[in-house]
């Protein structure tokens, strides 16, 4: 598996991932916009030459927000999400960031378990955060351990 920064050439495959993994997929324009932000980390996981997952974050001051992470269903439980998360934490350390925030669906227990493995803890709940389908979101945060 290879983890590398996303490039504009990856956008068609990223749109496919969005459409496969999310009920509310981001457009190519939204993905490109986040990808080109100066204060962002956008990386892809590649297996056998195919993009099978990605992570998309933005940050301001000393806080990072994990906007999106996804892995194609047939490639889950192969380490892609963990490798993407490790890359995110390494980037956060390089940037001198202190903590990472994310929101996750209340019903997405599998994702919550992955986040907990990386030290994320629930710090709140956002009522009606998700629209399609409607659902509350948990707010989770993890400290970035600067080595």
pLDDT tens-digit readout, 91-139: 999 999 999 999 999 999 999 999 999 999 999 999 999 888 899 999 9
Q: What is the CATH number of the domain that holds 74?
A: 3.40.630.30
The residue among 105, 139, 93 whose CA lies nearest residue 120 is: 139
Count up the domains in the chain and report the number: 1
* Statement: the pTM of the whole predicted model exceeds 0.85: yes
In 10 A of CB 137, how many CB atoms? 18
Main-chain phi, psi angles of 144, to 5 degrees: -95, 115
Domain that holds residue 106: 2-143
Q: Given pLDDT bands bounded at 50, 70 and 90, which one contains residue 145?
A: confident
For 21, 31, 68, 102, the CA distances from 37, given in Å and listed in that order, are 23, 10, 15, 18
């Amino acid at each position: 598996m290879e983890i590398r920064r996303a490039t504009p050439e990856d956008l068609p495959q990223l749109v496919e991932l969005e459409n496969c993994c999310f009920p509310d997929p981001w457009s190519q324009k939204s993905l490109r916009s986040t990808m080109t932000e100066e204060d962002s980390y956008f990386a892809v996981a590649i297996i056998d030459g195919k993009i099978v997952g990605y992570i998309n974050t933005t940050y301001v001051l000393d806080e990072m927000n994990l906007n999106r992470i996804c892995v194609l269903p047939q490639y889950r439980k192969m380490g892609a999400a963990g490798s993407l998360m490790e890359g995110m934490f390494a980037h956060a350390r390089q940037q001198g960031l202190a903590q990472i925030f994310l929101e996750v669906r209340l019903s997405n227990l599998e994702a919550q378990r992955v986040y907990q493995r990386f030290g994320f803890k629930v710090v709140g709940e956002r009522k009606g955060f998700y629209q399609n389908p409607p659902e509350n979101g948990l707010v989770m945060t993890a400290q970035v351990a600067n080595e």
